[in-house]
Amino acid sequence: MKLKVLILAALAPVAAAAQAPNFTITGKIGNLNKPAKIYLDYGSDGEGKQDSCELVNGTFKFTGYIANIASGRMTLSREGIRDKEVYGSGGLGDVIYPSFGKEKIHITSADSLYNAKWTGSKVYEESLAFIKAVGPPVMTIHHNANVALSRATPEQKKDTLFFKALDKKVNEMQASRRTKIVEFARKNPNSYFAMHSLSEASYSTKPEVILEVFNKMSEKLRLSYDGQTLYKLMTADKVTALGATAPNFTQKDVDGKPVSLSDYRGKYVLVEFWASWCSPCRAESPNLIKQYAAYKDKGFEILGVSVDSDKAKWVEAIKKDGLTWTQVSDLKGWESEARKVYGISGVPANFLVDPQGKIVGAHLVGEKLNKKLEELFTN
């Protein structure tokens, strides 16, 4: 399949004008006042932005520029603390994940963002229709599971069968959604939301199936930012196959110094994709520390590649876990360029690269990594 390369040229004054605000979100949530704040994190075509607004008698207003349809996270913190409702509330925070376009939008609610009514957004209405067809988003599934957990009786909270049943329900709902996304995309080749969500479906669908659906979608969507990102992810298995030369990349370390994978030629290097917010990643840290200490003097290195977007949280996690090897990140979160090139659909994930730059191992966690390193360095 051939993808067209679009080259855009514009005079500086025209480009400047294009950055003028093209969306507005106003709202009223009860009668809340300072310190209560609304936080809006949103992204469009790979560009992420953050904004916040104090509530005055429940009212707030956001304006900004987006290149295309935006996906975002909106959070209400009654204490005015960013992300506390997201990470410090047991999954029960007042958080929503809306999509919106270049529109004038108004949202209202008597008590919370979660129950807010949206008006003035055709994109939001289209997103609701998509959700109705394929099922609730992953974040909503987990929110509802956390609500069920919070309402559990003391006896249920001690019952392993209760947790297994809840976990099974969550997994079944996510699997059902992924299947329905693929079918929706087949039937709706012009749907932005279908293209936007196909990467989610790839978690349990073979790349060739995703590509078959992708190839039948409209040219506009295939050439879009989401379309080209998906194509890279779905074809990355060829790029990162065992024996292939590991794709080079350059990102900055915690001090802002550029570091390239090619700098490690002559040594075995584990390219470790992780994030400060990823519990399984952090759980693997002690084993990585142990293996690094055992083999670093024999030519073994680790290059940590974070998919964080918050530098402070990234640096804090490095210090807290005691990670002494080089860490890099472009701080683009899930839009990390290295993640796309390597086709990472979840973290933790890693690739073991030999001194000649060839990939000799992939997704080595725990004992799998330990045995591979023992095989390389003790024979």
Q: Of the residues 32, 181, 194, 281, which is catalytic?
A: 281
Cβ contact 85:97 at 8 Å: no
Q: What does each C-alpha distance from 103 to 24, 29, 175, 297 come to in angstroms?
A: 6, 20, 33, 58
Cβ contact 230:224 at 8 Å: no
Handedness of CA 67, 68, 72, 77 (dihedral sign): positive
- Residue 281's nearest CA partner among 363, 340, 204 is 363
Cβ contact 271:246 at 8 Å: yes
DSSP secondary structure letters along 216-279: TS-HHHHTSHHHHHHHHHHHHHHHTSTTSBPPP-EEEETTS-EEEGGGGTTSEEEEEEE-TT-H
Establish whether 278 is a catalytic residue. Answer: no
User: Pairing state of beta strands 250-253 and 258-260?
Assistant: antiparallel
Cβ contact 304:323 at 8 Å: yes
Cβ contact 275:306 at 8 Å: yes
Handedness of CA 256, 257, 261, 264 (dihedral sign): negative
Element (H, E) at 124: helix 122-134
Q: Which two three-digit tokens encode residue 86?
A: 């997201």
- Residue 35's nearest CA partner among 81, 70, 66, 103 is 81
- Phi and psi (nearest 5°) for 256? 85, 10
> What is the rounded distance in angstroms from the CA atom of residue 309 to the CA atom of residue 50?
11
Residue type at 100 in one-letter notation = F
Q: Which residues are catalytic, by number? A: 281
